Amino acid sequence: MIDIFSHRVHVESGRTKEDGQVAASLMKCWKTMGIPEFLQLDNELSFRGSNRYPRSLGIVIRLCLHYGVTPVFIPIGEPWRNGVVEHFNDTYNRKFFRRQWFPSYATLKKQAKNFQRFHNRHHRYSCLKGRTPEQVIEEHNFTPLVLGPNTKVPAFIPIPDGRVMFIRFIRSDRKLDVFGEKFVVAKELVYSYVKAVIVTGRHALELYHGDDLIQSLPYELPGHVCT
């Protein structure tokens, strides 16, 4: 995870990309870096839930909504949209992961945290005018809202009231892809990027072009929605 403002990173090593592992890693991040307003994600299955039940909303999305975080899914097939974190991943791979041998998984986890601390204290970014992530945080006197140290992932999270956002490009077939489901959108949106928003409390899928609401579609969600 990387904070776009300061470029401060939080590294969690995991044996798998299983959704429960991702959720637990997010919780650890939010205990130190703080709870963000938005969490930008690619369209990896473990982030979104189930192909078979796309409207069930997986644990990662539910956890975000539970803590008031809006998950934002980048356009399908456009990994450069996550350019900041992908650049860090490349640095992590070249300067840390591929440069040493780890005798155990525990050693990897420990050394990854050392790399995280070194990066945040010493790595200077041109986009930050040569400052390090920790210098940016100190200069702005930023105090994040963090989760308590003993907070755990809830055993079950009903779908909370909130928003799930998607950035999508609409082609000539006028199809909007939301977790594999296809929705036909207005002709005026062809060959443009749109912002699609699931508004859970209203069971609606809203489509925006810029700041203008163009279309609202029904989007029934299973189970109880908390308000």
Bridge-based pairing of strands 163-170 and 212-218 is: unpaired
What CATH number does domain 19-139 carry, 1.10.3470, 3.40.50, 3.30.420, 3.10.450? 3.30.420
Confidence at residue 107, expressed as pLDDT on a 0 to 100 scale: 96
Confidence at residue 223, expressed as pLDDT on a 0 to 100 scale: 74
Six token digits for residue 48: 């979104």
Confidence at residue 37, expressed as pLDDT on a 0 to 100 scale: 96
The whole model's pTM is what? 0.92
What single string gives the DSSP state of each residue in 24-35? HHHHHHHTTT--
Radius of gyration of the chain (CA): 19
pLDDT in tens, the chain (227 residues): 999 999 999 999 988 989 999 999 999 999 999 999 999 999 999 999 999 999 999 999 999 999 999 999 999 999 999 999 999 999 999 999 999 999 999 999 999 999 999 999 999 999 999 999 999 999 999 889 999 999 999 989 999 999 999 999 999 999 999 999 999 999 999 999 999 999 999 999 999 999 999 999 999 998 755 55
Confidence at residue 224, expressed as pLDDT on a 0 to 100 scale: 53
53/48 Cα distance (integer angstroms): 10
Cα–Cα separations (whole angstroms), residue 11 to 16, 45, 64, 73, 107: 14, 20, 18, 20, 14
Confidence at residue 133, expressed as pLDDT on a 0 to 100 scale: 96
DSSP class of 225? B
Domain ranges (residues) in the chain = 19-139, 163-218
